[in-house]
Amino acid sequence: MDSKVSLKKEWVLTKEAFDRFLAMLDIDREQAGRKYESVRIKLVKYFQWNGAIEPDIEADETINRVARRIEEGATVYNLNAYIHGVAKLVKAESLKSPIRRQRELDEAHELHGARVEDDFDASERRACLNRCLQRLPENSREIIMEYYQEEKHTKIECRKQLATRLGISLNALRINAHRIRVSLERCVRQCLTQCA
């Protein structure tokens, strides 16, 4: 079985299972659809903040598992808490995934293997960095800018405050900042290559 997130047993979301899931969200079908979109967006953000490589896939996997358990007859008293619990399990499995480890190794190899040429002056590098920063989503740009502010003890305190404000652990913040930095470095290298 070739899957991004490890599954105990292959299961495909059916229309009936999805309808039951929607009915648990709200009796009114239109309102249920809006609530579904809200739940999915929150799950994607949850997985992004926790360093998921493919947050969309993990969010969908979470919803599929919840829908499956509902179809199998599980009694769910608090759907939001149940969804969150399943999301935590999916996250834990994802962190152990060999696919995830391989991607992290590949990214690290790219960073250390391809050094930016020293031929470029600071103004060219700064211009490329600014262009790449502007291409980032606003929340990613804010995170990376705040993450690398200050020095020594002040830097540590600022990072703790940032993690608290975002509602994530310090480790999740580190992972997120690393992913943003990898993306930025790749963008800057491409920009400098185009300038050459």
pLDDT at 187: 87
Q: Where are the domains of the chain?
A: 15-96, 102-195
Nearest in space to 133 (alpha carbons), one of 142, 124, 120: 142
Each residue's pLDDT, cut to its tens digit, for the chain (196 residues) gives 444 444 445 677 788 888 899 999 999 988 988 899 899 899 988 888 887 777 888 888 999 999 999 999 888 899 999 999 999 999 888 777 655 444 544 554 454 444 444 556 778 888 888 899 898 888 888 888 888 887 777 888 888 888 888 888 777 788 778 888 888 888 888 888 887 6
> Is 11 exposed, middle or buried, given 0-12, 13-18 or 19+ CB atoms closer than 10 A?
middle
Give the CA radius of gyration of the chain: 20
- Render 81-128 in DSSP notation, one character per residue: HHHHHHHHHHHHHHHH-HHHHHHHHHHHHHHHHSPPPTTS-HHHHHHH
Contact 50, 172 (CB under 8 A): yes
> Is 173 exposed, middle or buried, given 0-12, 13-18 or 19+ CB atoms closer than 10 A?
buried
Q: Is 158 helix (H, G, I), strand (E, B) or coil?
A: helix
Contact 71, 14 (CB under 8 A): yes
pLDDT at 51: 76
In the chain, where does DSSP find H-type helix?
15-25, 29-49, 55-71, 79-96, 98-113, 122-135, 138-147, 152-166, 170-195
Q: How far apart are CA 119 and CA 74, in angstroms?
A: 63
* φ and ψ of 3, to 5 deg: -145, 150
